[in-house]
Chain A
Amino acid sequence: MGEPLGADEQMKYVTFINDKKFEIDIDQDGSVKVNGKPRSVDFLHLNASLYSMLMDNASYEVLVEERDGGVEVQMHGRLYAGKVMDERAVLLAETRGELGEASGDIIIKSPMPGLIVLVKGAVGDVISKGQTIVILESMKMQNELKAPRDGTISAIHVNPGQSVEKNKPLLTIV
């Protein structure tokens, strides 16, 4: 079995966990630096997404799963959400402006399959954060979907009585 390409180089990763940024360098021999400071890490794969990590004798049972382009880490009864990018990915994201604030439009998507019971409002209506905009029936419950921020409804993509799949765009807020 040959050596991976670039194995003689240090790999640099930019990792965001709960929106906090860490620069993590991993050497060929597996040694780790965080923001330039060396860390002694013993990291073993146990099964599936379960890992055991020992760091300065502190023991962590960690689950790491990649999902929807990001990463979820479960550790000590807490779930962390983040993203790991290598240097190339960071550059690409910067040019696309993806690391900045979310742009103006927000598309409200269906969080689960269900039946649209009601769309509260019409195109052009001004809505405020927390206001119920759609009622979606699923899992035997009428679920109220609320506006994530203040704005104006610019488009409605569904009608009451319509069955929707998960992630179906319901309406757009500008």
Chain B
Amino acid sequence: MVAETQRKDIRKILIANRGEIAVRVIRACRDLGIRTVAVYSDADRTALHVRYADEAVYIGPPPPRESYLLGDRIIDVARQTGADAIHPGYGFLSEREWFAGSVTEAGLIFIGPPASAIATMGDKQTARETVKKAGVPVVPGTDPDLTDDELYAAAASFGFPVMVKAAAGGGGKGMRAVHNADDLPEALNLARREAESAFGDGRVYIEKLIVGARHIEFQVLADTHGNTIHLGERECSIQRRHQKLLEEAPSPFMDPDLRRRMGDMAVAAAKAVGYVNAGTIECLVDKDKNFYFLEMNTRLQVEHPVTELVTGVDLVKEQIRIARGRRMGLTESVLEPKGWAMECRINAEDPYNNFLPSVGMISTMIAPSGPGVRVDSGVYAGYAITPYYDSMIAKLICWGDDRGEAMLRMRRALEEFTIMGVKHNVPFHQNLLNSFSFIAGKFDNKFVEERFSMTTFEENPSEEELESAAIAAALVAHRNRQLAGQVVIRNERDTSNWKWVSRWERMNK
């Protein structure tokens, strides 16, 4: 393997993605002096990734199937613009083995794992079988392609609750927890429909649901020189409908022994598929610290920054370095993270109304800053959130010397974060950071759905605050009225302003 490794030159990278992750990748390229090519749909002409890239090429209408999922078209654009490599980001084409394969066949570098590793890990069933052989524990589950009757029988044999999952899945789409047999038929229908619309593949399977479990994942990195390491864990149990909302590194549940055992498992799972580049091993960990392999995400994760802040590794730069055929910077696993990092996903969703997505123009956006604060975002004031893509506005990431400091910084940064024009979930994060269970680190992956309420820890605004807001509102109304009033007065020259201007011009002839 080492013998056939050769250094490859990368001078220009095409980013086959949009939004904050495209901006994130462009930033790493700029750090490295690599030129960048963005691609965009009709909905994204004014998006930040287009503004920020060296070159930007139009690829089609807003629906992803007609633009960001058109792999062949994107490869053509890479050829035309003279790009040496393609970075897929997360979502869209990042976990399509045919795309990774086509990129390589086109003589370009795919910044990610080999197509074979994507194929093995992308098919959940093959992935489970493969890692099981490497001694990695997995959750009991079925094949996809079973008939409904076979699925009902399997669910009954595992015992409820069970989880319905999309075979092509990821990101919580096409996933449903089912607590009794009566709800199974409808859950299967909804999951298939969601999977079909999100991935173009409606196949689903069933897994036993581990109750009271935490979602903990390990970041792995592997280069073409035979090094495979992990960079420690991320705690991702704060989720709602399988959408992660807040992630942190390390996990408050972790201890050195568990980290060593899970880390070894993660490295073994990656090696089992000949993995190269950055990837993530997702696990469930039960109350007794038994862990089960869930799946491997063969790409960069949304929540990668928390790992970056506690390890000092720039994961995107590392991905590019590995794709260039070089040895990666670290060759030993990280067993002791430095400090604590936390990420809040700021979404255009109304936490007071069942987290309903909100679309529209962001009229004002003031991002927090200062020590220990990082904001990764693809939007700005004046940008419109459209219904075509996900609802993420920004990722707010805070670092502290310990979990307490990270939480206090996050609270401060959330208070500074001002977004107006669309409903967003900043108040959710503020309430979460006030909740005793969260502060104590006592939560599992059902915490938000089953034991968290927006009102428990929400303090009502004081009389003084309400009055201050009222005064500000009245003064602005008064000001606008006066500005309007002055326009009226000008017109009182008994004729229109335009006429007045033209008379004045004639007088001066």
B147 on the A face (CB < 8 A): no
Q: Which residue of B lies closest to A14 (CB)?
A: B474
Q: Is the CB of B472 within 8 A of A60?
A: yes
Query: Are A4 and B486 in contact, with the CB atoms below 8 A?
Result: yes
In the complex, are the beta carbons of B430 and A13 less than 8 A apart?
no
Contact B190 A142 (CB under 8 A): yes
Cross-chain contact A64 with B415 (CB below 8 angstroms): no
Question: How far, in Å, is B285 (CB) from chain A's closest CB?
Answer: 27
Selected from A11, A66, A82, A140, the residue in CB contact (under 8 A) with B469 is A82
Interface string of B216-227 (1 = CB under 8 A from A): 000000000000
- Asked if A77 and B193 make an inter-chain contact with CB atoms under 8 angstroms apart, the answer reads no
The docked-state distance in angstroms from the alpha carbon of A32 to that of B471 is 8
> B206-214, B300-308, B330-338, B387-395: which one contacts chain A?
B387-395
Contact present for B486 and A1 (CB under 8 Å): yes
CB distance B475 to A4 under 8 Å? no
Interchain CB contact (< 8 A) of B471 among A39, A45, A67: A39
Q: Is the CB of A64 within 8 A of B390?
A: no
From DSSP, what is the main secondary structure of chain B's interface residues? Answer: helix
Say whether, besides A4-B485, A48-B364, A138-B387, A75 and B470 are in contact (CB < 8 Å).
Answer: no
> Does A26 contact B489, Cβ atoms closer than 8 Å?
no
A10 CB to closest chain B CB, in angstroms? 11
Please provide the chain A residues from 113 to 162 with a CB less than 8 Å away from any CB of chain B in the complex: 113-114, 117, 137-146
Interface class of chain A by DSSP: strand
Q: In the complex the two chains form, what is the Cα distance from A29 to B324 in whole Å?
A: 68
8 cross-chain pairs, A with B, having the tightest CB-CB distances, nearest first: A77-B415, A4-B485, A84-B477, A22-B470, A2-B489, A24-B474, A64-B476, A80-B469
What residue of chain B has the Cβ atom nearest to residue A82's Cβ? B473
Residues of A within 8 Å of B, CB-based: how many? 65
Q: A63-B418, A64-B476, A78-B465 are in contact. List 8 more A-B contacts (CB 8 A).
A: A7-B482, A22-B467, A34-B471, A39-B471, A53-B468, A65-B363, A139-B391, A141-B194
User: Is A9 interfacial (CB 8 A cutoff)?
Assistant: no
CB pair A17–B469 under 8 Å, yes or no, is yes
Chain B residue nearest to A84 (CB atoms) is: B477
Do B420 and A112 have beta carbons less than 8 Å apart?
A: no
Q: Are A114 and B478 in contact (CB under 8 A)?
A: no
What would be 27 A-B contacts, judged by CB atoms less than 8 Å apart? A1-B490, A2-B492, A3-B489, A4-B485, A4-B489, A5-B485, A16-B470, A20-B470, A24-B470, A34-B470, A41-B475, A43-B475, A50-B364, A51-B475, A51-B476, A62-B468, A66-B477, A66-B480, A73-B472, A75-B469, A75-B472, A82-B473, A111-B357, A111-B358, A140-B390, A143-B354, A146-B354
